[in-house]
Homo-oligomer: A and B are copies of this chain.
Amino acid sequence: MSAIPKPPVPGPLNPSRRLLLGPGPSDVHPRVLAAMGMPLVGHLDPEFVAMMDETQDLLRYAFQTTNRMTLAVSGTGSAGMETVIVNLIEPGDRMLVCVNGVFGGRMVDVAERAGAQVTAIERPYGEVFDPEEVRAAVKKVNPKLVGIVHAETSTGAWQPVEEIARIAHEAGALIAIDTVTALAGIPVEIDAWEIDAVYSGTQKCLSCPPGLAPVSLGPRAVEVLERRKAKVQSWYLDLSMIQRYWGSDRFYHHTAPISMNYALREALAIVAEEGLEARFARHALNGRALHEGLAAMGLSLLTDPKHRLPQLTCVKIPDGVDDLTVRRRLLKDWGIEVGGGLGPFKGQAWRIGLMGYGSRQSSVTLLLSALETCLRDLGVSVPPGEGIRAAAAVYSEAAK
């Protein structure tokens, strides 16, 4: 008999139906869920190898790159961040990190653990960097690598990166960008912007479950990787080995998460079917309808309209309203998940995601309606029906 007895055997798995309008995971497309449930083939099966090739081509389209080293790391978006950093940084290398939210802050921590000499420049949460600030810092620090977040999941700020990539290159540095929340929601142009390294996650605008991290390295970054003196500190995230596993020699590294790769392939096929332009236009439209609706209800958005993401909106919680009371009720009565604030926004803001499959008119209408009811019941003065009316006007205008 076992020394440690059986725990109570839990009943059947029966997750409640949610409308995931938080910062991720986002609502997963039904076709992607179906892919997750398909029977497995082996990770060296010719069918799986062909599927990995298809996935790489589809990922190159999503990233708008011809980079050969474009693949999915077998971990979540944070593993993608660590992959880029540990492959490009050797102990003692200088790295400049632009921090205007949680994920820039995380980059500093990851880089320090990789032995980098990190210099961080900061902007308040919700703001973005002016290229001139970055230029001044690059001049001072002379870094090997500049890291910046394209779409800050903690604030909803949309950071233009093209000019910053130019600044990095003028100083002989590489540029790495975090597109976890950006990819397939707003334009990401790896080749046109000359980005050297990029990572993302599956659980945002790709509408795939969390579990993989798309990564792409351009020629300058590959050269840095090939010229390393020391081995990459992480065996699991060593791109030179992972590349050989994805590549034509199919060199055994680890066992790829088969089902997650099925899901990513299906999610990327859906992106290609829709087309990037149509997808960005859809995200922009639904984001605008949400922003207009929230404003018409008298709520304040925390990011300047010039740098506001359509797929992730940070809205100020009205004075006197308790964060958790509202979020719990949205979840309980409507099955809607929205996110709480992070860092200085904790308890001060909600984060509303309209990502991938979740970016649709019905999400906007239901959320605005439910939120209006919640706030009115808490005694907040909300003009009746104004939020929905303002959103509807955006859709009518777009349909003309």
Contact = CB atoms under 8 A, between A and B. Distances in A.
Contact of A232 (B6, B18, B113, B273): B113
Interface stretch (A35-43, A143-151, A365-373): A35-43
Interface residues of A, number: 93
A254 B76 contact: yes
B113 A231 contact: yes
A75 B74 contact: yes
A266 to B, nearest CB: 6
Contacts of A113: 231-235
B76 A255 contact: yes
Contacts of A262: 13, 15
B6 A61 contact: yes
B201 A7 contact: no
A316 B210 CA distance: 41
A106 B82 CA distance: 20
Contact of A236 (B75, B203, B277): B75
A272 interface: yes
A295 interface: no
A60 B9 CA distance: 13
Contacts of A337: 41-42, 45
A64 B3 CA distance: 7
B42 A20 contact: yes
A125 to B, nearest CB: 15
A237 B113 CA distance: 12
Interface in A58-83: 58, 60-61, 64-66, 74-79, 82
A100 B43 CA distance: 24
B210 A211 contact: no
Contact of A45 (B33, B210, B252, B331): B331
A241 to B, nearest CB: 10
13 contacts: A2-B64, A4-B61, A5-B61, A13-B265, A15-B41, A16-B47, A18-B39, A33-B39, A75-B75, A82-B234, A210-B257, A211-B259, A233-B233
